[in-house]
Amino acid sequence: MCGIVGYFGKRKAAEILVDGLRRMEYRGYDSAGVACLFDTRIDVVKTPGKIKDLRARVDAADSVAMREAVQGIGHTRWATHGPPNEINAHPHLDASGRFALVHNGIIENYKEIKSGLAQHGIQCVSDTDTEVLVQLVAYCYQGSLERAVSEALKKVKGTYGIVVMSDHEPGKLVTARCGSPIVIGIGKDETIIASDASAIIPHTRDAVYLEDYDMAVVTSGGVEMFDLQHAPVNREVTAMDWDEDAAEKGEYAHFMLKEMFEQPDAIRNAIRGRLDFEMGTAILSGLDFSPRDAAMISRVLVVGCGTSMHAGMVGEYAFEELAGIPSEVEQAAEFRYRNPIITPTDLVLAISQSGETADTLAAVREAKHKGAVVAGICNVVGSTIARETGRGVYLHAGPEIGVASTKAFTCQVAVMLMMALKVARTRRLARHDGEELCRWIDRLPELAEAVLRQNDAIKAVAKKYARCDNAFFIGRGYLFPVALEGALKLKEISYIHAEGYHAAELKHGPIALLEEKTPVVALLNNVPGKDKTLGNAEECKARKAPVIAVVSAGDEGVADGFDDVIVVPDCPACIAPVPTAIALQLLAYHVAAERGCEIDQPRNLAKSVTVE
Ligand code: G6P
């Protein structure tokens, strides 16, 4: 979703801003812009479309500020209020052109503020909620930019991460957050503000993460932080540990392909040092649970969105099967608004690759209010959910840039299994069964490698079906969430209408849609439930739908009579989601590639959904 960058230092701002926006492209956007302040003049260049279009416009601009300024702000916009055109793109200026602002989030009471401004003769020119905010800052200005910003923010309902500058006060950037992340990178003689560490990493590793209702003022004297009442606040400088190369595609055609092939290493990193073979358990120090704490848990509630929610569903099965604890997964938005019943012995797990998803964050806050024990499963270190939960497990999967989540999913499943194992060992799971599970979790990277070796075979299957308009994925047990995830991957990147269904549910409606051109991917791994799903796949075949059978190695006979086969390693049911999901990721990728789709940045999608 939208990306923010701000720069103040000694180097040419426009170049750094455009490069920062390029590094945040993966978040998903549909227009972009930069504003630079030179001397006492702000120049803005914006455009619908991609960063390369913005770069061309910046290079062609007849603007000293674009060439010389050492101070500026930039933005990639994922349209919410008004279409993605030049007027609605950020940065926005006030009516005098003396204040410029970029904003992530949503100003919910913008209509009310807009009509208040109109009564003072201030008219907005764009459809956005953001322009209202910059007009309000200008209206509140009485000689101090930070005071004007805090006055304006006190009138605002909604979420924001903003950076503001004004030609009244060159050499100053003001930033603030409520609900949308802001990271401040502190370099030598320069400061880079961004909504995402990826724009900061090439310049410095030292960063400060703002908390909600924090403001920061950046000048040549350094960074000062306040709350909205101007009382100083202190936020620690932390070292960001992401490797710059990890955010580059290298030899791969797409980030998604690279990230799929990184899965063996990513899973290795996720499980490293966390398996205790001797005691048959997992060591998850970030969870901060003694065996007694773990034994007290009466229910596990997992909240998340999208792919993360699917990984949570695998966790649900594992907690119930291994630990015998009632467990539920809920879409985070539903959880936050339905007044959930929570008891003090409930463990709420918030699962989020980015750690910034608005609904998952709100679910965390709701669960905390209701007194639950809340833990996070995040990939992005220092992200808001990781910080607000205060305890949890990082994936250590490395940056995931492709919008369609791949390595985060398999690492989330690995972490979920380790969590379930840890809790299960305080309950009914015997030491030798725990040891056995440790061995299987330890083999996940090898199983991932085995599937990746099937890349060419899966590509051949993908080519056959690349022109279909609809597809179904069916599975049961641990493979039901994998069917949902397989369908999600396909629709996200290939735009084929795909549905994941419980194999048994197909008969209750969707089977009416089956015909010769609608393939069904049937997850027929050699795990409990296989025979039942096999019957369901036969029913599809009887309706002339082509069936792609996903089967376990050594059990290939199951695919007899079906149209195509994908072979994955034989493994226990709770382990099967990892290799099976990788096979379906590859299938979706090759279908999308064959259709010529823009795989890393699919239309309308955002990597990190920071609005509800
Ligand atoms: C977006 C992304 C998905 C992701 C979901 C949840 O929709 O496109 O890939 O699964 O958000 O994101 P999170 O960062 O919370 O895992």
**What's the angle, vertex CA 522, arms to CA 519 and CA 528, rounded to 5?**
170
Give one DSSP letter per residue of 358-408, joined into a string: HHHHHHHHHHHHTT-EEEEEESSTT-HHHHHH--EEE-------SSS--HH
Q: Tell me: cis bond preceding 91? Omega within 30 of 0 counts.
A: yes
Give one DSSP letter per residue of 227-257, joined into a string: ETT--B-----EE----GGGGS-TTSSSHHH
The three-class DSSP label of residue 34 is strand
Q: Do residue 130 and residue 216 come from a single domain?
A: yes
Q: Do residue 105 and residue 241 come from a single domain?
A: yes
Q: How many domains would you assign to the chain?
A: 3
Please tell me if the CB atom of residue 307 comes closer than 6 angstroms to any atom of ligand 1: yes
**What's the angle, vertex CA 280, arms to CA 276 and CA 284, rounded to 5?**
45
Please tell me if the CB atom of residue 518 comes closer than 6 angstroms to any atom of ligand 1: no
Under 8 Å between Cβ of 303 and 332: yes
The token duo for 337 is 């608004």
Compute the average pLDDT of residues 258-264. 97
Q: Do residue 140 and residue 230 come from a single domain?
A: yes
Compute the average pLDDT of residues 204-218. 95
**Residue 208, Cβ neighbours under 10 Å: how many?**
21
Under 8 Å between Cβ of 375 and 348: yes
Name every residue whose Cβ is closer than 8 Å to that of residue 560 and which is 6 or more positions away in sequence: none
Of 240 and 277, the one with more pLDDT: 277
Task: Determine the residue type at 456.
Answer: D
Distance 521 CA to ligand 1 centre (A): 23
The percentage of residues in the chain with a pLDDT greater than 90, rounded to a whole number, is 87
Distance 198 CA to ligand 1 centre (A): 17
What does the pLDDT look like over 300-348, one tens digit per residue? 999 999 999 999 999 999 999 999 999 999 999 999 999 999 999 999 9
What does the pLDDT look like over 421-456, one tens digit per residue? 999 999 989 999 999 999 999 999 999 999 999 999
Q: Which of 310, 313, 351, 354 to mutate to test the pocket of ligand 1 (most atoms within 8 A of CB)?
A: 354
Closest C-alpha among 13, 53, 7 to residue 30: 53
**535, exposed or middle or buried, with CB in 10 Å at 0-12, 13-18, 19+?**
exposed
The token duo for 396 is 């250590």
Is 2 marked active-site? Answer: yes
pLDDT at 248 over 80: no
pLDDT at 468 over 70: yes
pLDDT at 245 over 70: no
What does the pLDDT look like over 145-193, one tens digit per residue? 999 999 999 999 999 999 999 999 999 999 999 988 999 999 999 999 9
Distance of CA 600 to the CA centre of its chain: 13
Q: Do residue 237 and residue 317 come from a single domain?
A: no
Say what the pLDDT of residue 58 is: 97
Say what the pLDDT of residue 447 is: 98
Nearest CA, atom 2, ligand 1: 607
The token duo for 125 is 């020119």
Say what the pLDDT of residue 607 is: 84
609 within domain boundaries: no
Closest C-alpha among 32, 74, 20 to residue 203: 20
Q: Do residue 216 and residue 267 come from a single domain?
A: no
Lowest mean pLDDT segment, chosen from 217-221, 248-252, 409-413, 583-587: 248-252
**332, exposed or middle or buried, with CB in 10 Å at 0-12, 13-18, 19+?**
buried
Distance 606 CA to ligand 1 centre (A): 8
Instruction: Give this prediction's pTM.
Output: 0.84
What does the pLDDT look like over 538-583, one tens digit per residue? 999 999 999 999 999 999 999 999 999 999 999 999 999 999 999 9
Catalytic one of 2, 378, 540, 571: 2
Q: Which domain holds residue 490?
A: 452-600
Say what the pLDDT of residue 291 is: 85
Q: Do residue 237 and residue 260 come from a single domain?
A: no
Under 8 Å between Cβ of 552 and 568: yes
Q: Do residue 179 and residue 294 come from a single domain?
A: no
Alpha-carbon gap, residue 443 to 74, rounded angstroms:
45
Please tell me if the CB atom of residue 610 comes closer than 6 angstroms to any atom of ligand 1: no
Catalytic one of 46, 50, 491, 607: 607
The percentage of residues in the chain with a pLDDT greater than 70, rounded to a whole number, is 99
Compute the average pLDDT of residues 215-224. 95
447 within domain boundaries: no
Please tell me if the CB atom of residue 310 comes closer than 6 angstroms to any atom of ligand 1: no
pLDDT at 244 over 70: no
Say what the pLDDT of residue 250 is: 81
Please tell me if the CB atom of residue 281 comes closer than 6 angstroms to any atom of ligand 1: no
Q: Do residue 55 and residue 110 come from a single domain?
A: yes
Say what the pLDDT of residue 610 is: 79
Average pLDDT, the chain: 95
